[in-house]
Structure 1
Amino acid sequence: MEVNSTEVRNERLKNVSLGTRIIAFLWDYVIILGYLLLLFVLSFFARPLLIPLFTANSLSAEITGFLLITLPVYLYFSISEGGKFHATWGKRKMGILVMGVHGRSIGLKRSLFRSALKFAPWELSHFTIWHIVLPSNYPDYLINILLITVYGLVFINLLSPLMNKNKQTVYDTIAGTVVKYKN
């Protein structure tokens, strides 16, 4: 069902619980896992090209991982939530959508910003893991601080919808967005 953003008003729609958002994300993870499985299969054919990119140094591994994994997932969420359905496949399956705090479509620009905030802990964890797995010049205490930061951000994002009336995550608050039920 397409949502006409000029007719949707925030006050008519019910806030979405954290549990529903998590279930929607798990549905989206089915798509992500399918994509990762496809990458895994394709990696057997591209192995000679990929091994040097992932083993040369942590920066090369991070950039390659970002381009192959994070960027496509980021674009999936951004384009889906900023497009005509205002939702990813998982959100549509759960009957929820992403909108601006005043009930209007967020558009692609704000959706890109929201998704960047949403996936920042995910990408920071990838960055940190590459610096654990491959030798780097970063001291151990910095790697530990980054890991603590990742867990802290995830915890805050999971806890924040329970702390405000609009059930917004920190990234929703910063981006000026909310997640609501369609009806």
Structure 2
Amino acid sequence: MSIVKKLMRMLDDDLFQPRDVSQVALVQPNLDVWKMIYKAFMTTCCGSNLFWAVFPLLDKSSEGNRLPFLAWYPYNTKISPMYEITYAHQVLSYTCTCVTPINVDTFIAAINVYTTSQFDILCDILRNLHLSNNVGAKCVRHYWIILNFAYNSNKFFNWIILLQFCVSATITAMTLFQLTIVEPSQLNFFLSCLMEWQL
């Protein structure tokens, strides 16, 4: 958390701010691509969550009071209000487990986009160096601050990416194993494929 706070303080530095409208326009395409990626991730996440939340209610092949996910509870989940509470708990839990990694991943992408944008701003300043006075020292300072920001960014998210990679590989292996023991014509096969695709 201390590294994230340090990164946020660095973002407020005056050298990191665009100098004019042309520099804002220079970095805007990068920000637009990041926003598009974020919206795409969130749309697929929300669609998947909606599917998992609604599917047991619409599935006519199963008995009544089916939960979205199979789980053992120390109480009877078939009776009201325990069924409704457990159902809501599973939907909320699954939503949190989907939204959290997406936000972490897109936050890391935003940091990388911001680093790239800083280099674009610095290149623009260097291209127009002949139009300004006494900015040479500021350019060198800006360059070192960008490198420091990039170093701290990598320090922040290296372990996060490694952990997510390991967890994703484990989930993929478990899902693929489940696919080998389920008949391809069963609904669980398609649900496992959907879960794998979402990863």
What is the TM-score when the length of structure 1 is the normalising length?
Answer: 0.40
Q: Which is richer in strand?
A: 1
Q: Which is richer in helix?
A: 2
What is the TM-score when the length of structure 2 is the normalising length?
Answer: 0.37
Pair member with larger Rg: 2
For CA contacts below 8 A with separation 6 or more, give which structure has more relative contact order: 1
